[in-house]
Chains A and B, each alone.
Chain A
């Protein structure tokens, strides 16, 4: 069981907590110790808003081991309002309703289970903004 590994990234996965670089002020998600923009060390914790839009998407028909229960599901590249791109599943939406540019917002959902008696791992997914403009 991967308890320490998942415990370490809880805040990032549950709350979309990332960083802002103290030197170049660029937003960083996920958090890391060396700024990918300016390579300086030194970041401040930053809570992202959870708002973004679909940059790209793909409907997974052949899921890997551990993820087959929910196939077919849609994965997406989401462009956060603050700028960074991240990878996540989309939820609360039919696979055929997804469009590039669709406004989405972050929610915390179950990602997977490590077997019947194992850890249940949660993380961020994105759903269409309720009441948002349709594509």
Chain B
């Protein structure tokens, strides 16, 4: 197996792109990433996307995006794992290069949620859950996390307000990310007063669905130095799944897939949580941020909110999270999110994060599908 490095990154702003279609956004991100790498072609393309089929009746994205992006004829395929589609596409690209069968690989995560009305997009997103036994009953992704959050509050004796630091931190960091959907800080008062989506999930607990695309170019590490001035090495890549429906999980309040994929990644890189300097976690909801920290060994069970309250998650803290706004403030362009996380981590490790710069050479990104049934963890090094 070869070592793999990231030699090019690109992203569109995350937000509402009325003038750009899904294929337009994919081309924007891929063109930027190839330009960043100083390359014009690739051996393979992996496209991460969840909703295109349901919202715009467009499948077959591997071929479509390769065609539109000027990569005619190359091996191309779309990868799907609900919200984890982006990182799963990165994983496939990583496997392609690591195996020795592909040299230059482009990975693009792209999502367009605003071509449909909100209720339709919400229903489509909820296909991440169990269609027969969860979403069939009118449960949305938000309501599923409402069930999680309510049980978390009950078992660990915390209140809604205890989750506020996750939202406040994300929005504060979004201010300095020119590609973030939301770029203003929020107060603890605003958090508490925000309207309910699925009690106890309030407006400021939930990441916004949006449009966006992000892309990376991968190549073997022993070639990376000739292509890029600041290649970023993929030290580890790990994937795990868990029982799809929340009600089937052995322990609903433990993200088993997040834990298992992080464990694989830690073992591959030969590191532990104390070596990780920043963590782009899957803050689709504040409760997911808390559970992710617990599953990955940064906080004990039920203590994720306390870690946040202690300030450990800020840029100055012991384990900065959502350093460019996270899903919460940068936005959740569903199938693109996993690639946004990698791009943002790469920016940090290249020292190009601007006002949000965190010091340290080892970072982790974790992308989760649905309520925790797929988890993809990558560890990157400067």
Chain A: CB-nearest residue to B142: A62
Q: Is the CB of B252 within 8 A of A58?
A: no
Chain B: CB-nearest residue to A63: B138
A78 to B54, CA, bound (A): 30
The interface stretch among B44-52, B91-99, B127-135 is B127-135
Total inter-chain residue pairs, C-beta < 8 Å: 106
Q: Which A residues are CB-close (under 8 A) to B197? A: 61-62
Q: Which B residues are CB-close (under 8 A) to A60? A: 138-140, 142-143, 146, 198
The interface stretch among A38-46, A79-87, A127-135 is A79-87
Interface size class of A (residues with CB under 8 A): 20 to 34
Residues of chain B in range 216-248 having any CB-CB distance to chain A below 8 Å:
243, 245-248
Q: Is the CB of A87 within 8 A of B140?
A: no
A95 to B213, CA, bound (A): 39
Q: Is the CB of B247 within 8 A of A57?
A: no
Q: Which A residues are CB-close (under 8 A) to B133? A: 30, 86-87
Cβ-neighbour of A66 out of B118, B123, B248 (below 8 A): B123
Chain A: CB-nearest residue to B123: A64
Q: Is the CB of B201 within 8 A of A65?
A: no
- A73 at interface, CB cutoff 8 A: yes
- A47 at interface, CB cutoff 8 A: no
Q: Which A residues are CB-close (under 8 A) to B138? A: 60, 63-64, 67, 70, 73, 75, 89, 111-112
Cβ-neighbour of A58 out of B126, B132, B200, B245 (below 8 A): B200
Chain B: CB-nearest residue to A5: B132
* Chain A interface, >50% SS class: strand
- A119 at interface, CB cutoff 8 A: no
- A76 at interface, CB cutoff 8 A: yes
Q: Is the CB of B198 within 8 A of A59?
A: yes
Cβ-neighbour of B134 out of A59, A63, A87, A111 (below 8 A): A87
Q: Is the CB of B137 within 8 A of A56?
A: no
Chain B: CB-nearest residue to A76: B147
Residues of chain B in range 242-268 having any CB-CB distance to chain A below 8 Å:
243, 245-248, 252
Chain B: CB-nearest residue to A80: B247
- B151 at interface, CB cutoff 8 A: yes
Report B160 CB to chain A, min CB distance, Å.
Answer: 13
- B148 at interface, CB cutoff 8 A: yes
- A108 at interface, CB cutoff 8 A: no
- B275 at interface, CB cutoff 8 A: no
Q: Which B residues are CB-close (under 8 A) to A70? A: 138
Bitwise interface map of B from 142 to 169 toward A, beta carbon under 8 Å scored 1, else 0? 1110111111001000000000000000
- A88 at interface, CB cutoff 8 A: yes
Q: Which A residues are CB-close (under 8 A) to B199? A: 58-59, 61
**Chain A positions near chain B (C-beta within 8 angstroms):** 9, 30, 36, 55-68, 70, 73, 75-77, 84-89, 100, 111-112, 123
Would you mind naming 6 contact pairs between A and B with Cβ atoms under 8 Å apart? A55-B151, A64-B135, A64-B138, A65-B122, A75-B147, A87-B245
User: A-B pairs with the 10 shortest C-beta distances?
Assistant: A58-B146, A64-B123, A56-B151, A85-B247, A59-B199, A67-B138, A65-B119, A65-B123, A56-B147, A64-B122
